[in-house]
Structure 1
């Protein structure tokens, strides 16, 4: 039992994750345990996580963030790291509570307190937890990601309600209170989301005509929710329905969905025809220049392009303009020298949009009108639809068979760089295609001049 003391300042228990090689599981893997140390006494607790030794690099000092080999495929590697970090955080928080209250305690006290907190947290159910994640994203300005999670919550609610014979869940503005009451009445615990649940939901989605890419997105998002819930002690690892390695073939396989897409890149010859084309309207001119700027600026995503401000440009002596921006989707930071065609597009808009460093470069957003994250999202989504519509008309005029979208510019950039012999790693860096952890490694691995040199192949 923890005791309050005024005689001394209570020391803090240390919490760390241990790859416990002394125990070998049935599939040859070793478990990860949480080790709590207080006054030289240790207590080990199971996390439910495990890893085959071929994916563990003992030479990295035992820190799981470094020792789990990159050959362990993502997203499983990233999911495992996040789960272990969540376990550490729970016990470390419990240890910190004792220190804050200056209570004498043992390692067993820390374990017991964390268990009590996890037990209380498990009262949270699936739909409520998904909404909690989405609401947090809205507060952080991640409107697009919040929409993905809320869409997941809506689809899950329909499925859960149909299984229970309940009426359709209320949706739309002005019905938030009705929906909250519906969720309280029909929500399910995390234990309900098992392999059978996933198989049944997949069959239901397929019956509605959902395509493979939609199925992949739905289940990847659900998997992310469960990983977060396990890391926070809201759900139990024992009921986890998704396969984490080849030995778990009996579990639900998110990778089974065929997300291959039709040809998205256009050839250099088609690109030249688009460049030579004279748009019929100013709106088509914007669409053309958005496409070309994305191509010449490393495949910048439309959402990021729309939010570029004049302050994001810097003049480098003898090397023209340099663009600095943060990718909305991943938070990755990018810095690239603008090629001459991209710089020319920028300068074309300067007389019309420059009203100070905080003004937007492209005439998509208005700093005075679009102030909130939701206003920015809605305006960007509207203009993106117009741009893609106009790009298809330009493709017809330029005799390009591939239906043009802003994504095609991004894909074309990557394809042309690859055919020019630029390494996949550098292309991945320019596009921010990988997970945040992998992107961070790329950013540490390549100097800006290496990426700048690669862009020369786009001319």
Structure 2
């Protein structure tokens, strides 16, 4: 990571002011930025010590106070530039830092604000929102070739151009809408903070949510997945076990499975809160669930499943890496079975719901079993159902398997 240092170059003439400059060091390469400020060696020594000369009165004293504040602002801005470059994950040079600092657009604009917002979200623990915005910004950045967008440029014409760009690359309407809604959320934050005025740049682009292609497989395919002999392929075996555990637990999402802890299983009941909605769910513990748990050694962790294994590493990164691996292996399993849809962990969730519906289990029970995220629907369901009905529904499905 690049570093920033404040440096002083004394004048070759005695008792003359020297120049203040900023030094950027990255990969042992050094670049300099002239701050445009001059001061005497004694004043520089006072600034370095955090002191202002007590005999400096009047204009000179005010100048040094202002200079001290400007140094703090300049170095903070350089550090923000470096942080944004680091965040991209791409290589950069000390010269790139200098170039961005000297570019007027870097002092403010949509990308500058958005990246700062992502950093704030991470600091307050809103990791998923920050990740969503990062995904959106990566796409928009490719469209803009990573050049800053001034607030005046953020208008409906630009969004129409962006939507056309997405269509030309085969992006489906729902994905395009996902990007647009993310940009709109960031833009609205900027309006709230008085960074710009509301120009409704998204009024002519699609921001709705259309019906997606259903991803479900029948009960006979679930049986095939369960009964595959994968003893010689541990990674695929693990992916299959995660898929089946999701199915056994009424379509539990991968992130919820990853964060399940042993303490969540008490007296034959598994309880957890959905990461997506915060809703608490209770699942009766069944024999096939225990069989999967018994296959893996998790003694060194508090987690029920072997997704987060290293207690000294970032848990979310481990979850995301595991999710990628599992879905990659499931896709290959689906290809081996000749399925006409990509097999992912989500298929287990939708498969459970479809099979439940085919077996005439009431819609209300299915919705509660899966932790429906509609508040209106959830209120209706919770008013008339108890978890025993859900557990009976799950038992019926597992017995049919």
User: For this structure pair, what is the TM-score category when the shorter chain's length is used for normalisation?
Assistant: 0.5 to 0.7
- Counterpart Cα distance in 2 of 1:400 and 1:252: 35
Q: Note if 1:188 corresponds to 2:150.
A: yes
- Counterpart Cα distance in 2 of 1:254 and 1:338: 41
Verify the 8 A CA contact 1:226 1:240 in the aligned structure 2. Answer: no
Q: Secondary structure at the match of 1:325?
A: strand
Verify the 8 A CA contact 2:235 2:329 in the aligned structure 1. Answer: yes
- Counterpart Cα distance in 1 of 2:164 and 2:207: 14
Q: How far does residue 440 in structure 1 lie from its aligned partner after superposition?
A: 6.0
1:354 matched residue in structure 2: 299
Alignment partner of 2:216 out of 246, 254, 265: 265
- Counterpart Cα distance in 2 of 1:439 and 1:240: 32
- Counterpart Cα distance in 2 of 1:221 and 1:425: 32
Structural mapping, 1:233-252, within 5 Å: 236=197, 239-242=199-202, 251-252=204-205
Alignment partner of 2:274 out of 327, 346, 356: 327
TM-score by length of 1: 0.55
Verify the 8 A CA contact 1:213 1:258 in the aligned structure 2. Answer: yes
Aligned length: 290
Q: How far does residue 290 in structure 1 lie from its aligned partner after superposition?
A: 0.5
Structure 1 moving runs of 4+ over 6 Å = none
Q: Secondary structure at the match of 1:148?
A: helix
Q: Note if 1:378 corresponds to 2:317.
A: yes
1:389 matched residue in structure 2: 328
The structure, 1 or 2, with the larger RCO (C-alpha pairs under 8 Å, 6+ apart) is 1
Q: How far does residue 438 in structure 1 lie from its aligned partner after superposition?
A: 4.8
Alignment partner of 1:312 out of 248, 253, 264: 264
1:204 matched residue in structure 2: 165
Alignment partner of 1:341 out of 288, 292, 299: 288
Q: Secondary structure at the match of 2:241?
A: helix
Q: How far does residue 213 in structure 1 lie from its aligned partner after superposition?
A: 3.5
Call closer, same or farther: CA 1:291–1:281 in 2, change over 3 Å: same
Q: How far does residue 216 in structure 1 lie from its aligned partner after superposition?
A: 2.2
Call closer, same or farther: CA 1:240–1:295 in 2, change over 3 Å: same
Q: Secondary structure at the match of 1:361?
A: coil
Q: Secondary structure at the match of 2:167?
A: helix
- Counterpart Cα distance in 2 of 1:124 and 1:332: 39
1:448 matched residue in structure 2: 387
Alignment partner of 2:138 out of 145, 154, 157: 154
Q: Secondary structure at the match of 1:434?
A: coil
Q: How far does residue 265 in structure 1 lie from its aligned partner after superposition?
A: 1.0
Call closer, same or farther: CA 1:354–1:456 in 2, change over 3 Å: same
- Counterpart Cα distance in 2 of 1:339 and 1:151: 38
Q: Secondary structure at the match of 2:272?
A: strand
Give unpaired runs (5+ residues) of structure 2.
1-106
Larger radius of gyration: 2
Alignment partner of 2:206 out of 244, 249, 253: 253
Verify the 8 A CA contact 1:216 1:259 in the aligned structure 2. Answer: no
Q: Note if 1:135 corresponds to 2:119.
A: yes
- Counterpart Cα distance in 1 of 2:247 and 2:157: 44
- Counterpart Cα distance in 2 of 1:399 and 1:156: 36
Verify the 8 A CA contact 2:216 2:351 in the aligned structure 1. Answer: yes
- Counterpart Cα distance in 2 of 1:236 and 1:424: 45
TM-score by length of 2: 0.62
- Counterpart Cα distance in 2 of 1:434 and 1:194: 33
Q: How far does residue 400 in structure 1 lie from its aligned partner after superposition?
A: 4.3
- Counterpart Cα distance in 1 of 2:118 and 2:236: 35
- Counterpart Cα distance in 2 of 1:305 and 1:288: 14
- Counterpart Cα distance in 2 of 1:393 and 1:145: 30
Verify the 8 A CA contact 1:323 1:338 in the aligned structure 2. Answer: yes
Q: Secondary structure at the match of 2:295?
A: helix
Verify the 8 A CA contact 1:202 1:215 in the aligned structure 2. Answer: yes
Q: Deviations over 1:136-160 (max 9, x none)?
A: 332244434322201222333444x
- Counterpart Cα distance in 2 of 1:325 and 1:281: 31
Structural mapping, 1:402-441, within 5 Å: 402-434=341-373, 437-438=375-376, 441=379
1:26 matched residue in structure 2: none
Q: How far does residue 414 in structure 1 lie from its aligned partner after superposition?
A: 1.5
Verify the 8 A CA contact 2:364 2:381 in the aligned structure 1. Answer: no
Verify the 8 A CA contact 2:272 2:281 in the aligned structure 1. Answer: yes
Verify the 8 A CA contact 1:264 1:412 in the aligned structure 2. Answer: yes
Structural mapping, 1:167-182, within 5 Å: 168-169=145-146
